Each structure stands twice: as C-alpha cells, then as structure tokens.
Structure 1
Amino acid sequence: MVLLSFTRTSLPQVVEICRDLGVTSVADLGCAELTLFQYFKNMETITRVVSVDLDKQLLEANARKTRPLMLDHMTRRDKPLDVSVLCGSATEFDGRVAAVECVCAIELIEHLPFTQVDDFTANIFQRLLPKYAVISTPNKDFNVLFNFVPGQVRHWDHKFEWTREEFVRWCEGVKDKYGYSYTLTGVGEYEEDNSFGFCSQFAIFTQNEDFPVFEMDTSQQPYEEVYSVEYPVRDPSDTPDRRLTHELMYIVTQIGMERWDAEGEEESCVAISHLQTFPAVGQYEVSDEHVARLVELHCEGEGCDDMVRLSEDRGSIVVRNVPPSPSAEKSDCSSVRSVVEIDEEEVW
C-alpha cells in the first residue's frame, strides 16, 4: 500500500478547515520546520500567524521560510500579515498566543510525555481560550496496515498513539470540562477497507455560544521570540483602475518606442481593442469605454507629459513616440501615417 506523505494530505486539510471557519489569526503549536505557515501565508483572510516550537535551533534554521519573498513585495497583500516565530512549550501560557482566534496542534500531542497531556489540554482550553482549536494525532487503529511489530509507533519520538476510541474519550473530556463542542474528521482513508478509520484523526473544537467572557492578562510572555516580520501591504490608493492605467501607459509607450526605432514615426495610434488582447490589460475584464475613461482621467491629471491622449472617436490611444517639442502639432488617428497593429511578442 502506498500512502501520500503527511504534508501533502494533512496540511492542506488544516488550511481548508481554517478557511471554512473564517478565522483571521492562527497559532501553530509544534510548528517544527514552519511548513504549515507556508500554507497560511497564501490565505488573504489570515492577518496574524504565531508559530511556536520548543526546538529553537530548528526554528532558527527554518526562519527563512517566513521571510517575504521578492514575489511578496511585487504582488503585495490587500490585508496585513504579522508573523511571530516563538520558542516555547505548548504546555505553557503565553499572551501572544492567547490573542489568536484558532489554535492548531497538528501531530503534536503524541510527542508529549503522557504526564504532560493534561497540562497541554488545560493550556489551550482553560488559559489560551481560542474560539477554535484544530487538533490532529495518528490513529493507532490504522497502524495494522503498516505491518508494524507489536508496540511499534510511527515515529521514534512518539510517546504514545491513540486509537479512535481513546481520541474520542479525550475529546469528550474537553467537551465536558471546558465548554467546547467538537466534530471529528481526518485524512488518509484506506480505500479497500475503511473500517480502520483515517490514518490521521482530527478534532475541530468550537467554543460554546454561552462560553463566559474573561479578562485575559496577555502580559505574561515567557516564550522567546526567534523572528518576527510584517508582510508588505498594497497601498490603499493602488486600486485596480490605477494599476490598469499604469499597464496601459507602459504598453503604449513601449509600442511608441518600437515604432520610432523601426520606422521613425513620431506618433502612433493604438486601438483599445488591440490593447485588450494583452494579458496585462485583459485580466481586468473591463470595457473599451472604461479604458477610454481611464486614459481621459490620466491626461487630465497633474504632471501629465502629453505623451499620450485619447483619440476623438475614443477608440484608440495616440502615443507620441518622441518627447514633445514646442512646434509639434497635435494630430489624431486620421493624420497618423499608420495605425499600429503589433503583436505582443514584438513589444516585449
């Protein structure tokens, strides 16, 4: 039997759960190599991620995964994203984790000494008090499919592994003691026989509606901060219309330069319908009239250098291929020697 890797199956499941819950801030307890963060960073709804692990050396080795890439600077987010990487124990309270909506502990609990499970449980559901918690752990019932020897576990560091019945018993304890409801799911079913359950079992906990509101002291912060970063955010004035205007001006200017270099034309007339065939313009899915109005507004704005203007029939953009001179007379498409119909490949 061939199984998909844990990362390729469970982590996308976590992201889908958080997306369905509509959370805007998450904590990843036991984040290890920060792999889950790389999924969270691509969710526009997420504005805060706190990643926690006890292994500082591992966090330092993988901190680069949280740093914004060149692409993150080029295609900025519409909403902020604040990231904190902290070194500390999942059994200990830290106010920075208490400030998030959802706490995730994916394949973590089985790495704790069994004597610390109660402390881990109380830290999440009695002290951190998230609105949601997503907990996953291996399903011991599934291990028979791996041909393990008696007592063998899936990873050398697993202190225990729970059967489905044991996991439900723990979930029921959380429900009865801390005022949370839960639903069960998982990933990795054996297609030939689903009686073994999921390879990895999940519980999604939700605070009950009558959950009491507490004044929480978030000043207690024993975790050590390893790394923090704020992702670049799009300027609020950088609207789709503004970006489209920039694309239009860039493309027609490039066309003008091509015409000047190739044929010495001082002006070129570029049909708006032709500009719509460029992916950089077509992606905005606006009408030709909308494009014409953007060109008008651009030409009416301060600092317009008179290099482009809208044709009288509003169907084309006239671009001056060389810098304007005092004696240069304005012309329209009727006086331009040729209407440019140039393939995008020629421009680039």
Structure 2
Amino acid sequence: MTELHELRLQTVIEQVLMAQAKTVLDLGCGQGQLISELAKIDSIEKIVGVDISATELAIARDNLNAEGLWFEKDIELIHQSFDRVNANLIGFDAAIMLETVEHIEPRYLSRIEHAIFSVYQPRLVIMTTPNVGYNPMYGLQPGETRHPEHKFEWTRLQFKKWCEGVAVRCNYRVELSSIGEEHLLLGSSTQMASFRFLGSGRPSIV
C-alpha cells in the first residue's frame, strides 16, 4: 500500500468519524482495504461494500476472513454496478467513493448521481479522485492516465464544476479539499469532495 493511499484512507476515515456515522457504504470497495479499516472502529455498526467486479469481491471476502473481521461486524458485499438503484442501500449515514468515479464511463455519471445523491441520500458522501493536473509529476504525458482502467481524470476546475452541480441539484453542501503534497501550481495528487445532505427524511425509489 502506497503512502498516498494510506493518507487517503486516513483522511476519509477521519471524515466518517467526525460525521459520527454508524452505517457506511463503500462504493467501489475493491479488495476491501477501506472496509477492513472501518471494521476496526467500534462506533461503526454496519458496512456494505459494493463493486462491479466479482473477482475483487471474492478477494475482499477472503481478506476479511483472514483478518477475522467478517464475523465481528455487520458486513455485506454486493456485486452490482453503481448505476443500478438498490433499495437496500437507502438510509446509510455515509457513502464513500475512494478513487472510484474515474473508473466509470462519463456517460453514466448522471445515473450515478441519481442513485447515490437522489435516491440513497446518505448524510455524508466522500469522493476522492486523481487531479489530472498533477500527472506531470508522475512523468505522464498529456492524455495519459494513471491507470489503464481509468475512463477519465478530472482537472481541479472540472471536478469543482461537477461537484457543485451535484450539490445544487441534489440538496447537498460540498466542500473541496486536497490530499497529498501540494505543488504550488499543479495542486496535489488527489482531490476530495465532502458532500453533506441539507434535507431531511428519505426518498422513495423513482
């Protein structure tokens, strides 16, 4: 695990703790690293990981079993795409998309927005994603992405515009921040958005 990834995990977990979240969705849970860390926190009662890869979920299950965490917490793993609304995911305190959104085809972003922000409406949504402006620090050329499975990578301005649009449309307040060493001109490697729901009550599935 890289130092930057550890810093992302730590930063996200701090946000979850500050929000006093007891139930957490890990959207794009991969091999379960974040779930493993969340499961060690006494105040968190339920964790659901969602991923489109059955292979990654199988590894996550094995990792959780190996750590003895599977039977200590209410943990569930769900194999599905983010753009498919699932009634079982409504009512969580927090949802996390840790380096996940960039793996989604841009044409599906409106479906993701609808499912997470309009239907599930967690009190807190945390999203981290690469800052493409920082890519030259990794020796990448224009048009190159950090990972072959990334469908896109946002500039800081593009990320800000999308997040603010989601916040307005879905009744959230959003705060933008950065993770990692800050370059004077290029910013940091990772950008983060913390969305906090401004409404009350829970929606019906539409």
- Return the match for 1:84 from 76, 87, 98: 76
SS of residue matched to 1:67: helix
Displacement after TM superposition at 1:214 (Å): 3.6
What's the RMSD between the two structures over aligned residues?
2.1
Post-superposition CA distance 1:68-120 (Å, at most 9, x none): 746x69xx97xxx3100110011111122213111101111111111011111
Partner of 1:41: 39
Partner of 1:213: 201
- For 2:148 and 2:66, the matched residues in 1 are separated by 34
Whichever residue aligns with residue 148 of structure 1, its letter is: L
Residues 114, 160 of structure 1: 8 Å contact kept: yes
- For 1:104 and 1:82, the matched residues in 2 are separated by 17
Q: Which moved more, 1:94-103 or 1:127-136?
A: 94-103
Partner of 2:185: 195
- For 1:215 and 1:186, the matched residues in 2 are separated by 31
Displacement after TM superposition at 1:127 (Å): 0.9
SS of residue matched to 2:62: helix
- Return the match for 2:150 from 148, 153, 158: 158
SS of residue matched to 2:190: strand
Displacement after TM superposition at 1:176 (Å): 1.4
Residues 66, 83 of structure 1: 8 Å contact kept: no
Displacement after TM superposition at 1:67 (Å): 2.9
Post-superposition CA distance 1:143-195 (Å, at most 9, x none): 121221221110001111000000000011012111100111121124xx333
SS of residue matched to 1:173: helix
- For 2:184 and 2:13, the matched residues in 1 are separated by 24
Against the structure 1 CA distance between its residues 48 and 175, is the aligned structure 2 distance closer, same or farther, given a 3 Å change threshold?
A: same
**Structure 2 residues without counterparts, runs of 5 or longer:** none
Displacement after TM superposition at 1:6 (Å): 3.7
- Return the match for 2:93 from 78, 101, 105: 101
Where relative contact order (Cα < 8 A, 6+ residues apart) is larger, the structure is 2
- For 1:198 and 1:118, the matched residues in 2 are separated by 27
Displacement after TM superposition at 1:200 (Å): 0.6
- Return the match for 1:185 from 165, 173, 177: 177
Residues 118, 203 of structure 2: 8 Å contact kept: no
Partner of 1:30: 28
Residues 25, 47 of structure 2: 8 Å contact kept: yes
Whichever residue aligns with residue 205 of structure 1, its letter is: F
Partner of 1:335: none
Partner of 1:50: 48
Post-superposition CA distance 1:12-31 (Å, at most 9, x none): 11111111111001000011
Whichever residue aligns with residue 61 of structure 1, its letter is: I
- For 1:19 and 1:214, the matched residues in 2 are separated by 22
Number of paired residues? Answer: 205
Post-superposition CA distance 1:119-144 (Å, at most 9, x none): 11111111111111001110011112
Rg comparison, structure with higher value:
1
Against the structure 1 CA distance between its residues 57 and 151, is the aligned structure 2 distance closer, same or farther, given a 3 Å change threshold?
A: same
Displacement after TM superposition at 1:62 (Å): 2.7
- For 1:69 and 1:198, the matched residues in 2 are separated by 33
SS of residue matched to 1:198: coil
Against the structure 1 CA distance between its residues 168 and 87, is the aligned structure 2 distance closer, same or farther, given a 3 Å change threshold?
A: same
**Structure 1 residues without counterparts, runs of 5 or longer:** 221-348
Partner of 1:11: 9
Partner of 1:333: none
Post-superposition CA distance 1:317-337 (Å, at most 9, x none): xxxxxxxxxxxxxxxxxxxxx
SS of residue matched to 2:81: coil
- For 2:29 and 2:134, the matched residues in 1 are separated by 24
- For 1:22 and 1:7, the matched residues in 2 are separated by 23
Residues 12, 39 of structure 1: 8 Å contact kept: no
